[in-house]
Amino acid sequence: VASVDGKDIVKSSATNVTNALAGRLPGITAVNGNGKPGTGSQITIRGISTFGDNSALIVVDGIVRSFDQIDPNEIESISILKDASATAVYGSRAANGVILVTTKRGRTGKPTISYNGFAGIQNPTAYPKLMTGLEYATTKNVARQNMGLQPAFTEEEMADIRQGTKPEIDWYDLTLNKSAFQTQQNVSVTGGTDMVKYFMAAGYLNQNGLYDNLNYKRYSIRSNVDASINKNFTVSVDLDASRRNSNGSSYSPEAIFSDIMAAYPFDRTYNPDGTIFYTREQHPVEEIKTGYQKNVTDVLQATLTLKHELPFIKGLSVSGRASFGKEGFTSKFYQVPILMNRQDADGNTLEIYPFGGWNGKTALTESYSDYNTTTLNASLNYKASFGEHDVKAIALFEQFDAKSKNFYGFRTNFPANGLDELLYGGQVQKDANGSSFNDGRRSFVARVDYAFKNRYLLEGSFRSDGSVAFPASKKYGFFPAVSAGWKISEEAFFRNNSNLDFFDNLKLRASYGKVGNTAVAPYQ
């Protein structure tokens, strides 16, 4: 197990929690695939372990869910389970390790208000170096010569290029900004009495991209409340809600960046009359402001936890948890062609060439999805000490259900670019479709921990996992684990040896566990 404190995560000023884990924990690899605002890192634990999906299992306050968009200011700690015997209690989804996220909770005392915010800029580390205009022209001529063709640039043009009299475009400079602004703000209040403790927070994130019209915003609120109904019965209510807005042009950042590198250095951006210059293939300056893609994601996670200490047996308690998650996603993707104007030397229009869009046409795609999850579990817990013997045990039942519905509509042949609603689209070349998805799991878990003199440790566990993805005859998998440990530093011969004072803790441990992976296509 490796862990990191929430205070250390906040220090990094990372807007996405997954990015803050990079380089902080042994055995953890965090790779950010792109720099688009709001994106996080793909986290792997001890490398790639399985076919298909290699993502670690994320558990936030006991509920399996994503955590990359949780405000870092709301996190108390993150623990990484890397060992098979430690992750085996998560059974069929633990093959790639488990990340446990614990959010902050209330404490007894007067209300304490905390504010944490920052504003800053992001700069690109480096851009790929491109050929100069002279290098490009020389290479182009050599390539055509090797193919037995006439050179693309005449000797007069080559002379102008060498002397700098032929204008050369820096597409990086014209398309991208030197830096991108970002800010994150969070205010929280915590406090409570012996009866009720609370932690509440509200957060805001605004992150721009390195070109205009690329932006990500996140609004979040959290409320964690713990109430003691009596000395044996406690109730906890957790609410986590957020809205995430992601905006960009109709061209993806990857496409725009690729077109910047592929654009010709001697093209112009616009004709003298202000119309778009005919570049033949790509025009990144226009791509960053043509059309749009607007995505909105609304997330709600509500959890109710009950715990009752059974008075007739000391150390025995029963607890139950019900959690409901809802994620709604809407997307509006508006594609508009770039109307390039090819002109002669006198400025007369020879051709209007529609580049991009949907096959050279204006098109609109709107999509909606709704994802709902329900997690129910109940457990019996026991913890007791008998002289030099310490025992902990848990028996748990859990059921998970998920349902998803998706719908999208598509139309093209719009009479004007400003009419970006489906009802204005043409009656041909249109489409509407949808889909649904169901998922479910049922699990039985048991674990027993035993320690003698706090030196000799033994633990055994098993989990039986069933998934709707598999046929009835193979629906359940069994995932056992066992481990034994010896705290050498607790032995008298070790503690009383002054030559070994530099050891704070030394433990020898052996373990075996079996884990699985259900991240496969269902109903095969």
The answer on pLDDT for 177 being more than 80 is yes
Q: Of the ranges 4-8, 130-134, 154-158, which one carries the lowest mean pLDDT score?
A: 4-8
Sorted by sequence, the CB contacts under 8 Å of residue 150 that are 6+ apart come out as 144
What digits encode the pLDDT tens for the residues 190-230? 999 999 999 999 999 999 999 999 999 999 999 999 999 99
pLDDT, residue 517, reads: 87
pLDDT, residue 135, reads: 95
| pLDDT range class, residue 71, cuts 50, 70, 90 | very high
Of 343, 516, 340, which Cα lies nearest the Cα of 443?
516
**Residue 159 to residue 165: CA distance in whole angstroms:** 9
What digits encode the pLDDT tens for the residues 261-312? 999 999 999 999 999 999 988 999 999 999 999 999 999 999 999 999 998 8
The answer on pLDDT for 90 being more than 80 is yes
**Residue 503 to residue 150: CA distance in whole angstroms:** 77
Most confident of 12-21, 381-390, 415-424: 381-390
Q: What residues are paired with 202 via a beta bridge? A: 187, 221
pLDDT, residue 186, reads: 96
CA quadruple 153, 154, 158, 161: dihedral sign: negative
pLDDT, residue 407, reads: 96
What mean pLDDT comes out for the span 338-362? 93
pLDDT, residue 137, reads: 96
Q: Which residue has the higher pLDDT, 523 or 159?
A: 159
DSSP letter string, 502-522:
T-S--EEEEEEE------S-S
User: Cβ-count burial of 229 within 10 angstroms (0-12 exposed, 13-18 middle, 19+ buried)?
Assistant: exposed
DSSP letter string, 475-500:
-EEEEEEEEEEEEGGGSHHHHT-GGG
Q: Which residue has the higher pLDDT, 496 or 381?
A: 381
Of 13, 116, 100, which Cα lies nearest the Cα of 57?
100
What mean pLDDT comes out for the span 358-362? 92
Buried b (16+ CB within 10 A) or exposed e, 285-323: bbbbebbbbebebebebebebebbbeeeeeebbebebeb
The answer on pLDDT for 25 being more than 80 is yes
Of 95, 92, 68, 80, which Cα lies nearest the Cα of 28?
80
| pLDDT range class, residue 509, cuts 50, 70, 90 | very high
Tokens at residue 57, please?
């299992």
Instruction: Work out the percent of the chain whose per-residue pLDDT is above 90.
Output: 75
| pLDDT range class, residue 111, cuts 50, 70, 90 | very high
- pTM of the predicted model as reported, rounded to 2 decimal places: 0.89
